[in-house]
Amino acid sequence: MSQTVEVGTPPARDERVATKSPFARLMARPEVGALAGAIVIYLIFFAVAPPFRDVNSLATVLYVSSTYGIPAVAVALLMIGGEFDLSAGVAVTSSALVASMFSYQFSANMWIGVLVALVVALAIGFINGYLVVKTGIPSFLVTLGTFFMLRGLNLAITKIVTGNVGTNDVSDIDGFASAQKVFASQFTVGNVAIRITLLWWILFIVIATWILLRTHIGNWIFAVGGSAPSSRAVGVPLNKVKIGLFMAVGFMAWFTGMHILFAFNTVQSGIGIGNEFIYIVAAVVGGCLLTGGYGSVIGAAIGAFIFGMTNQGIVYAGWNPDWFFFFLGALLLGAILLNTYIRRRAEASR
């Protein structure tokens, strides 16, 4: 959203900005609402679910959070850039299917299948971005079409190639063991098993946050999300930025798909449907505006953590799993309302 810069700003306004308290600056951060919501949800499950208090349970929560949080990193960047990707969930499955079937059917080293899947995932992101910037069609509609196409291809091609709705076991293929160490291994800290996806998630959060807050590319992302015409007028390479963001979503979808493949050795063609909404919800809960130009990768990570806590907390609390999505929606809606309230208070104090 463009802002008009006034010449000769009144001294009173300058003094107000200069004397703004650290607390007021903290409250203006987009992830503050998500953090407050996460604390509330954690305390609820900590109180009602004794198993939730165990360190191993926290490790499980963090693992679940990481599997949704890794794609949510790129989805948050894309939303800050003013676009959506509704195909991210099925793109995860597509990546895993391509790697598995390519290596199995061609008796190729597993790493070749992994690289082929990466090329396919980046191509999906590029096509989505190219169609959005060249046609002017809203990304919601473009990626909705991609969603249905990938969903159909995942099922149809898997049936043609394997004669089933899932892929063959690839654990005996050369290169599987080394790829599994990269994408799906675990290690022990004390008596707690930590999945490697947690480390990858933290690394991606750090890189994305650095790009967003410390580089020209980050400024461009905020600019194209705030006002595409204005950013283009001042020389921001709008098309390249948006295509690059869609390709970043493709990359994260590929990485998540590789984890699923090497964690379970086989992939079902119907998984991943609906996960794109979880990625978007994590970003929105984390402070990303649906209109673009505002948000935080750290906030999206907290949003994914909220989902992980809800996902596992309901199980640990012994609640009826049939109510899962109701509780999830209620908790996430509460987090969003809290986030909105805090942001409005911060804006009112400026």
Q: How many residues can be counted in the chain?
A: 350
Cα 298 to Cα 105, 166, 206, 209, 336: the distances in Å are 40, 35, 9, 7, 15
Q: Identify which of 91, 69, 307 has the alpha carbon closest to the alpha carbon of residue 208.
A: 69
Of 122, 124, 72, give the one whose Cα is nearest residue 275: 72
- Which option is the CATH number for 31-337: 1.10.940, 2.20.25, 1.10.3470, 1.10.10? 1.10.3470
Rg of the chain over all Cα atoms, to the nearest angstrom: 21
Domain locations along the chain:
31-337
pLDDT digits (tens, 9 = 90+) for 59-84: 999 999 999 999 999 999 999 999 99
Residue 302 has pLDDT above 70, yes or no: yes
pLDDT at 193 over 70: yes
- Which pLDDT does position 100 carry in this prediction? 97
Residues 6+ apart with CB under 8 A from 145: none
Give 189's DSSP letter.
E
Segment holding 165, helix H or strand E: none
The DSSP 8-state label assigned to residue 166 in this structure reads B
**CA 305 – CA 335 distance, rounded (Å):** 12
Contacts of 217 (CB under 8 A, 6+ apart): 211, 241
> Coil, strand or helix: which one is 323?
helix
The pTM for the full model equals: 0.89
**pLDDT, tens only, 21-54:** 666 666 667 788 788 888 988 999 999 999 999 9
Residue 162 pLDDT more than 50? yes
Do the beta carbons of residue 170 and residue 265 sit within 8 Å?
yes
